[in-house]
Amino acid sequence: MEFDFRTKLLVLILNIYLVSIISRESLFRSLILFLSIYLIIQGKTKPLIKCLVLYAILIILRLISNGEGITILLPEMFLFLVIRMIAIIMSAIPILGMPPGEIVSVLKKLKVPNCIGLPFIFMIRFFPTVKMEFKEVFESIRLRNIVSIKEPVKALEYTFVPVMIRSTRIAEELAAASESRGISRPGIHTSRRKIKLCIKDYILMLIAIIAFIVLFILEKGY
């Protein structure tokens, strides 16, 4: 089941705010549950499983460390921030998988200025491309067998340095490709896709707003 970009954007914004204010673990787990259902109904089970596995591992690490972190490499604050980022990523997954053309059409329809809309579109196209770059780097490292678990610093160097260098070129290529398609051209931009809010979008928006209000009230203790 697919939803309109505006619906997904609303879910993302509400979720980011909740992640920033929720302090009780029980409420945060409820938020993770809502996001899991949100991904399941859109058929995003594979990324959901990855997020939940990582979430479970981090929770176990926090329990083992008793809130003090795992040595200097994995301090408590780092574990806390990564857990919070997982919730944000879960709400962003449906947006990252959307066609850029549809997003452009919706942003133009909403009269979003180019200074805001264009960086947002580039960001959405950038992350999946960088993900593929990481995958290729990992494959190259594995085939050459040039790093091991015993040398974590060298592993980070051989992973991030190539990706950082390649990311600069990716950003330039994405910008050039978008400009060649007239993405920054003023005026009306049409789309082959039907951009329209359906009943399912309104239902999801209503559920998201209700869940937001309930979790907000429970957190604030009103």
If you average pLDDT over residues 31-51, what whole number do you get? 92
Q: pLDDT above 90 covers what percent of the chain? A: 29
How big is the CA angle at 193 (ends 112 and 105), to the nearest 5 degrees?
10
Query: Per residue in 60-118, pLDDT tens?
Result: 888 887 766 666 556 777 788 888 999 999 998 888 877 777 777 777 777 777 677 67
161, exposed or middle or buried, with CB in 10 Å at 0-12, 13-18, 19+?
exposed
Q: Which are the contacts of 22, defined by CB distance < 8 A and separation ≥ 6?
A: 28, 31, 215, 219
Cα gap 9→193, rounded to integer Å: 18
Are the C-beta atoms of residues 35 and 90 closer than 8 Å to each other?
yes
More confident residue, 43 or 171: 43
